[in-house]
Amino acid sequence: MSRTFAGVLAGLLVLGAMGVASAGIPDPDLSDVVLGPDGGMATCPAGDGPVYEYITVTAKRTDTTPIEGIPYNSFFFTVTGGNVIISHVDAETDPQGEIRFDVVGDETIVGQITVEVQIYTVVLNQSDLLDCNSFDINQDDQVSLQDFTLFSGDYGGTNQRSDFNWDGNVSLQDFTLFSGHYGHN
């Protein structure tokens, strides 16, 4: 191979690599993770707590434009504070650079979890917190009459421990969610 051809080939490879990097490498300061539209998630000792609405990750370049087409398996999550299962909803980032994932947690999560995201090899500088409560209100590893007694005392109020749909009120919707888990252990 001639030196001239080798130089041209090397130059094309460098330009190609720069083009790919600028086209698809997210900026860790401009990309972010947001944990759904509600305030939290409810968990169950049976590990069948409702799916949290979703995690939305947004990937943006340094020029603030969104990155479309990043596949779901290029996202890696670190969750601190409990055991969760994260599964993709979308196959890849959309034209706004967004992709959604479902989150399901077991009874070990009460309080808060922190979710951090890595896209390819880029760790985002933003993490997000998710508040969690449990249908096992007294935390004895079963959703029983004692939990129902605590729930009924909270009914009509605003106690977060019994607000399973995270709307700020303990209402019929929360009772419906609670009753679906009654007897689980």
pLDDT for res 9: 42
pLDDT for res 152: 97
Q: Are 165 and 73 spatial neighbours (Cβ–Cβ below 8 Å)?
A: no
The owner of tokens 């959604």 is 100
At position 49, the amino acid (one-letter code) is G
pLDDT for res 6: 43
pLDDT for res 29: 96
Q: What is the mean pLDDT of each run of 10 residues along the chain (185 residues)?
A: 45 39 78 81 81 86 96 95 88 97 75 90 92 89 95 96 91 95 93
Q: Are 43 and 12 spatial neighbours (Cβ–Cβ below 8 Å)?
A: no
pLDDT for res 23: 54
The owner of tokens 């029983």 is 144
What phi and psi values does residue 93 have, to the nearest 5 degrees? -65, 140
pLDDT for res 26: 96
What is the fold of 24-134?
Immunoglobulin-like (2.60.40)
* Spans of all domains in the chain: 24-134, 135-185
What gap in Å lies between CA 134 and CA 176, rounded to an integer? 14
pLDDT for res 16: 40
With respect to CATH, is domain 135-185 assigned 1.10.1330.10? yes
- For β-strands 111-119 and 75-80, DSSP reports them as antiparallel
